[in-house]
Structure 1
Amino acid sequence: MTFGEQPAYLRVASDLREKIANGSLPPHTRLPSQARIREEYGVSDTVALEARKVLMAEGLVEGRSGSGTYVRERPVPRAVARSGYRPATGATPFRQEQAAEGARGTWEANSEQEEAGRETAARLGIEPGDRVMRTRYVYRDGGEAMMIATSWEPLAVTGRTPVMLPEEGPLGGCGVVERMAAIDVVVDNVVEEVGARPGLAEELLVLGGVPGHVVLAVERTFYASGRAVETADLVVPADRYRLSYHLPVR
């Protein structure tokens, strides 16, 4: 199957990408200058610039102020557990991982009541303006931010109960399934939609990275008999982590 000849800037980017992959341009090496690319490949300044932009958008190179563009260290992606399995402890997948010997994970959380916006209300099946508990999380591995998340729970379900604050009380830190079970709400389904997109500036400020770096975005919603009881957005740097699903077979 023929897709036609690639534009010149993509051909240049492809050749430079191959040199990065095979070690001809190892990490921390300065990328050939725009003038050097123009001369070596016989292309215009515009083509050379666009080729460099492609590599930067892919996260293969990074600009250093006043110094130039350099090949980035390529980390070996680590797994972030997404699991349908819940042991007797009721721990979330992240906490299950951190229970392992040598794990260095920590997390921070902050909960506040707010009125549901239009999108959050649609995901929870409630009316805009209804009260929800919003909790923001930052998960770290060895001190490095590796995932951020924001969850919303309708206070019509959890309000004035021991599990109203996800990280406090007798079940603080337990998973949604276990917390809801404590107030006689039986979670029987969870939907996760996974996509990739450029990270928002405020996300990359926490997670590290430069504008254009790609993140994995997970939209998760827990249901009890068809009623949404929690929805959340999870954001993970795509160049450093991958999502690992462990699902039971029935």
Structure 2
Amino acid sequence: MPREAPYRAVADRLRARILAGEWEIGERLPSRAKLAGEYGVGRNVMQRAVDGLIIAGLLEGRAGSGTYVRAPRERLRMIRSRHRDVGGGPSSLDRVKERGRAGAWDTHSQVRVPAPEGIAERLAIRPGDLCVNTHYEFLADGQPVQLSESWEPMAVTDETPIVLPEMGPLAGKGVVVRMRSIGVDIGTVVELPRPARATRAQANLLGISVGDLVLHIERTIHDTGGRPVETADIVIPDVRREVAYEFGVDQP
């Protein structure tokens, strides 16, 4: 049998002490150098062990202060389903039970924003082409649970009633309904999920620590002709939510 990595063994022993209540919630742990000496391991091993417990949500690091026992937080489930409407606001489909669904959200849109190179590539437009850029902050039970930054080419929506996703007659109805109202039918939605670490700006908005684990979902919505009509970067804090993907089965 392969020998367990030293940092995993140290993390397991430290986890047991935390769960046994050796340190109370909010209490600072001894320094990592002191813990390394106590366990007879190098500082790098202890660093990896502590980092793993931070990711797991048992500890939190505070810059310039140390490492503290974190209050346990329940991870709520987010359902991402092919059967749901897509867009900036919450889905209108209530068929699937989802705990902690965002019940409120703040938005800010800017029009005529030049597309950065990476966004332009995702939207199959030229860098600098004008877009509507919308930032979303989603709340569930008053707690921030998700961020999203959306880009829509103005070549698709300019001079229509839906140019602003959260204003006008179809405000908050989602991309599918809004685009259909101007004769654009949605064909596919592509999502690329990646693990990432929270930036300072993201951590401030989500109420988590810089470097906490987040799920970054790069989403692009295409019409039936394959043209991208919206792309978004969605950020979900791992400590707050687990993401479940649901797929229907085509019947023969």
TM-score (norm 1): 0.83
Tell me the distance in 1 between the aligned counterparts of 2:68 and 2:147. Answer: 28
Tell me the residue number matched to 1:193: 192
Q: 1: distance between equivalents of 2:219 and 2:43?
A: 45
Instruction: Indicate the residue corresponding to 2:221 in structure 1.
Output: 222
Which residues of structure 1 form unaligned runs of 5+?
Answer: none
* 3-state SS in 2 of match to 1:188: strand
Query: 1:76 aligns to what?
Result: 74
Q: Which amino acid aligns with 2:162?
A: V
Q: How many residues align?
A: 245
Of 207-216 and 42-51, deviating more is 42-51
Q: 1:241 Cα deviation (Å)?
A: 0.4
SS in 1 for 2:186: coil
RMSD: 3.1
CA pair 64-123 structure 1, distance change in 2 beyond 3 A: closer
Show the counterpart of 1:165: 164
Amino acid at match of 1:214: L
What is the aligned partner in structure 1 of residue 110 from structure 2? 112
Change (3 A) 1:110 1:9: same
Question: 1:177-216, aligned counterparts within 5 Å?
Answer: 177-216=176-215
Q: CA deviation at 1:62?
A: 2.0
1:122 maps to: 121
Percent pairwise identity: 40
Deviations, residues 58-111 of structure 1 (Å, cap 9, x unaligned): 543124578753221221211223222247xx99544556x9999772101111
**How do 1:42-121 residues align onto structure 2 when only pairs under 5 Å count?**
42-44=40-42, 47-48=45-46, 51-56=49-54, 58-63=56-61, 68-86=66-84, 93-94=90-91, 96=93, 105-113=103-111, 114-121=113-120
Task: Kindly state the Cα deviation for residue 19 of structure 1 after the two structures are TM-superposed.
Answer: 3.8
Aligned partners of 1:86 and 1:92 also within 8 Å: no
> Please, which runs of 5 or more residues in structure 2 have no aligned partner?
none
Q: How has the CA–CA distance of structure 1 residues 138 and 65 changed in structure 2, closer, same or farther, with 3 Å as cutoff?
A: closer
> C-alpha separation between the residues in 1 aligned to 2:63 and 2:245?
39
> Structure 1 CA distance, aligned partners of 2:136 and 2:122?
19
Separation of aligned partners in 2, 1:248 and 1:178: 21
Whether the aligned pair in 2 keeps the contact of 1:177 and 1:187 (CA below 8 Å) is: yes
Find the aligned partners of 2:126 and 2:33 in 1 and give their Cα distance.
58
Show the counterpart of 1:246.
Answer: 246
**Aligned 8 A contact 1:166 1:173 in 2:** yes
Contact 2:131 2:151 in 1 (8 A): yes
How far off is 1:195 after superposition? 1.0
Once the two structures are superposed, what CA deviation does each residue of 1:157-215 show, in whole Å capped at 9, x if it has no partner? 11111111111111111011111100111101110111111111110110011122010
Q: Take 2:229 and 2:121, find their aligned partners in 1: how far apart are those partners?
A: 12
When the two structures are superposed, what TM-score results if normalisation uses the length of structure 2? 0.83
Matching residue of 1:13: 11
Partner Cα separation in structure 2 for residue 110 and residue 200 of structure 1: 20
Contact preservation (8 Å) 1:82, 1:93: no
Say yes or no: does 1:156 pair with 2:155. Answer: yes
Listed one character per residue, the Cα deviations across residues 111-147 of structure 1 (whole Å, up to 9, x for unaligned) are 1120101000000000011111111100011221110
- Give the equivalent residue in structure 2 for 1:233: 233
Q: Which amino acid aligns with 1:176?
A: V
Partners of 2:60 and 2:70 within 8 A in 1: yes
1:40-63 Cα deviation digits (max 9, x unpaired): 423356654554344335543124
**8 Å Cα contact 2:218-2:234 kept in structure 1:** yes
